[in-house]
Structure 1
Amino acid sequence: MVKFITIVCAIFVCVYLAKPTLQFLSDERIKYINEVAKTWKAERFFPANTSKEYIMGLLGSRGYTNYSSEVEIKTYDPLYEENASVEQFDSRENWKSCKQIGRIRDQGNCGSCWAFGTTGAFADRLCVSTGGKFNELLSPEDVAFCCQNCGKGCEGGYPIKAWQYFRTQGVPTGGDYDSKEGCAPYKIPPCFDQKGKNTCAGKPLERNHQCPKTCYGSTTVQKRYKVKNEYVLNSPNTMEQDLIKYGPIEASFNLFDDLSAYKSGIYQKTPKAKFLSGHSIKIIGWGKENGVPYWLAVNSWSKFWGEQGTFRIIKGRNECGIERSATAGIPL
């Protein structure tokens, strides 16, 4: 009897293991997504053998859950235009002199998305507040590896604490890897070469760097830019109002594995998609396509991902928590 049960169990295990499954980035999985997704298209971007652990290494935002009561939740600003109804808004078009708003960056093999989302939004707001006189990139290198209270660099961090760092310590300028642009350019090489080939696949996560104490780019004087406050925006209305008044905002959300194969359209999580971790991006606008409202966001996975480095996600229903904990601050 025992022998019979053992044989039956062995057969069951073999049948179970032989059952076809939808692998993470297989042709079958991408085909399935394109069959069930009604408003967006999927296409392989990361190699088919990419592990979920690798993707999770790029997802460093710890700001995708509700913030504590100690953080200001902004609900009103006397400068908001409450009666203004704008169906479509694109910061790149509204502030054409601020060229860095549409700049697509590459965080490399590092979970520093939180540093890119916050410095990107802050740099844009500086440009807006100065009428285009400030038109540079701020340094995610400095934020990721100098802000001890923000998190653990490539292992993730808290966007709201980055804004607090901007208020108390400030942040210098800093362009892309090997660019010499600004004071503290990013030191982690990009994951995608000029032809869009992934050069980081299979490699371990980048180690955290030592905090740069002095400028090593083309700028020799380390001027540190500050904000006068920091706050959370947790409703579509305040997100819109703050963005249209002061400029782009950072937003963190729950990233599911299907988004890694995003190519175009308005993203909505598909059935069977699995949660990976929190991710930080920069929201630069919103709009509507075929009756579907969306947020327009800039990612930091190179210009080859998505819609030339940007993506759209459905707006107004807190998809993946994206309307739960956006962050921002007003330049000093």
Structure 2
Amino acid sequence: MKHLLLLCTIAPLVWAKPSSESSNRLVDTINSKKTTWTAGVNFPGETPEEFAKKRLGFLGNHPDPNFRVAKKVHKIGRTAIPESFDARDQWPQCKDVIDNIRDQGNCGSCWAFAPAEVMSDRLCIESKGETKFEFSPQDVLSCCDYCGYGCDGGYTATAWIYWLGHGIVSGGDYNTSVGCKPYEGLAFLNHKTPSCKTTCTNANYKTTYEDDRFTGFTYYSLDKSVEQIQTDIMTNGPIQASYRVFEDFMTYEEGVYQYTEGKELGGHAVKIIGWGSENNVPYWLVANSWGSEWANLKGYFKIRRGTNECGIEAGVLAGIALNNFDPPDDTGSAIKAVSSGLG
């Protein structure tokens, strides 16, 4: 199988930034409270329901509520955890991969994007920067028939299971010629799930679908513990997380997000690459999949750390790409449970 793929810059979906005169009541209310973050209008003309349908899509880790993912438990050296951490700085040879902000467009496919992003990062890290393979969310979205409902939402653990059992080909964002199966306009523009194709849709990509498929080695969950999550990121790379999205998050611009105002809209899956503190408020540094033009942090956001804000510290998943990977700083981590597959 061929696994070498260079990333390229894509044309992002541009979010309009209307003037302050058109700021809605929610934005004004949040900013008047002078909380830890600043609000603005990111999605002009969209109702909360339209926003949720287009931008969210996380339905849970697995459709079976009794399903449990194998849990990795690290021995924690508390003094070894720094005050701040950024995976882009820790692994500079993979900075271009880790810093690649994806764009799911108008499809509720975050459940496919977040795992694919973490898989891409970890394969690069494990190969010491030699393998830069951009896993295709499109391949998971269209071809994993037990993962969920395509653009209407899906389950992240099943995406990891699909990676282990079937393998995933390469593929960049919409309107690129990156990899075997770039993201399709039907999903990006129209909120429709494309049919499964078992051939490469990129005519310029010369590797066959079968030869391009990359199968991962294992995946696991982590405890709802700041130290466990931090240790895993420091040891193995970025992780996949999920959280409940409320109306106020539609308006996030910068600062450390915490719930302030509005009703719950649904779930969202994202990638955590590090942590830090801003104005004495601890945060997770999170890569979103709404394009690099979203908000004011080039596609990233910060969310309060240590309080399980909106569930961000529960349900964390990650994986290992290579079966010969030996983390250089793994201080006795172990798997405590055995996960069941899908029949």
Distance 1:94 1:285 in 2: 10
| Residue from 99, 107, 111 that aligns with 1:110 | 107
- State, as a whole percentage, how many aligned pairs show the same letter: 41
- The alpha-carbon deviation at position 62 of structure 1 amounts to 1.3
| Residue from 25, 29, 38 that aligns with 1:28 | 25
- Are the aligned partners of 1:175 and 1:185 in contact in 2 as well (CA < 8 Å)? yes
Superposition CA RMSD, Å: 2.1
Superposed CA deviations along residues 289-308 of structure 1, whole A, max 9, x for unmatched, are: 12111000011111121211
| Residue from 53, 68, 81 that aligns with 1:85 | 81
- The alpha-carbon deviation at position 26 of structure 1 amounts to 4.9
- The alpha-carbon deviation at position 178 of structure 1 amounts to 2.1
- Structure 2, unaligned runs of 5 or more: 1-21, 323-343
Distance 1:180 1:62 in 2: 30
Match of 1:277 in 2: 266
| Residue from 173, 184, 207 that aligns with 1:220 | 207
Match of 2:131 in 1: 134
Match of 1:94 in 2: 90
Distance 2:219 2:317 in 1: 7
Match of 1:12 in 2: none
- Are the aligned partners of 1:112 and 1:154 in contact in 2 as well (CA < 8 Å)? yes
| Residue from 309, 320, 332 that aligns with 2:299 | 309
- The alpha-carbon deviation at position 27 of structure 1 amounts to 2.4
Superposed CA deviations along residues 99-155 of structure 1, whole A, max 9, x for unmatched, are: 121111211110001111110011000000000011231100001111111111101
Match of 1:194 in 2: none
Superposed CA deviations along residues 44-86 of structure 1, whole A, max 9, x for unmatched, are: 1111x211221111210012799855423524147x7565221
Q: How many residues align?
A: 293
Letter in 2 for 1:220: T
Distance 2:56 2:117 in 1: 17
Distance 1:282 1:298 in 2: 5
Letter in 1 for 2:193: N
| Residue from 254, 257, 274 that aligns with 1:267 | 257
| Residue from 101, 116, 119 that aligns with 1:122 | 119
TM-score with structure 1 setting the length? 0.83
Secondary structure of 1:231's aligned partner: strand
Distance 1:37 1:71 in 2: 40
- The alpha-carbon deviation at position 189 of structure 1 amounts to 6.8
Match of 2:48 in 1: 52
Would you say 1:178 and 2:167 are equivalent positions? no
- The alpha-carbon deviation at position 239 of structure 1 amounts to 1.2
- The alpha-carbon deviation at position 238 of structure 1 amounts to 1.5
Match of 1:211 in 2: 196
Q: Which moved more, 1:170-179 or 1:26-35?
A: 26-35
The 5-angstrom pairing of residues 152-191 of structure 1 reads 152-188=149-185
Match of 2:226 in 1: 236
Distance 2:214 2:85 in 1: 27
Change (3 A) 1:65 1:160: closer
Secondary structure of 2:277's aligned partner: strand
Secondary structure of 1:62's aligned partner: strand
TM-score with structure 2 setting the length? 0.80
Match of 1:292 in 2: 281
- Are the aligned partners of 1:61 and 1:114 in contact in 2 as well (CA < 8 Å)? yes
- Are the aligned partners of 1:126 and 1:134 in contact in 2 as well (CA < 8 Å)? yes
Match of 1:320 in 2: 310
- Structure 1, unaligned runs of 5 or more: 1-24, 192-199
- The alpha-carbon deviation at position 35 of structure 1 amounts to 1.3
Letter in 2 for 1:96: P
Q: Which moved more, 1:88-97 or 1:57-66?
A: 57-66
Match of 2:319 in 1: 329
- The alpha-carbon deviation at position 235 of structure 1 amounts to 2.0
Distance 2:141 2:26 in 1: 34
Change (3 A) 1:64 1:142: closer
Query: Which segments of structure 1 move beyond 6 Å, counting only runs of 4 or more?
Result: 64-67
Superposed CA deviations along residues 2-42 of structure 1, whole A, max 9, x for unmatched, are: xxxxxxxxxxxxxxxxxxxxxxx952221111112421101
Letter in 1 for 2:118: A
Secondary structure of 1:297's aligned partner: strand
- Of the two, which has the highest radius of gyration? 1
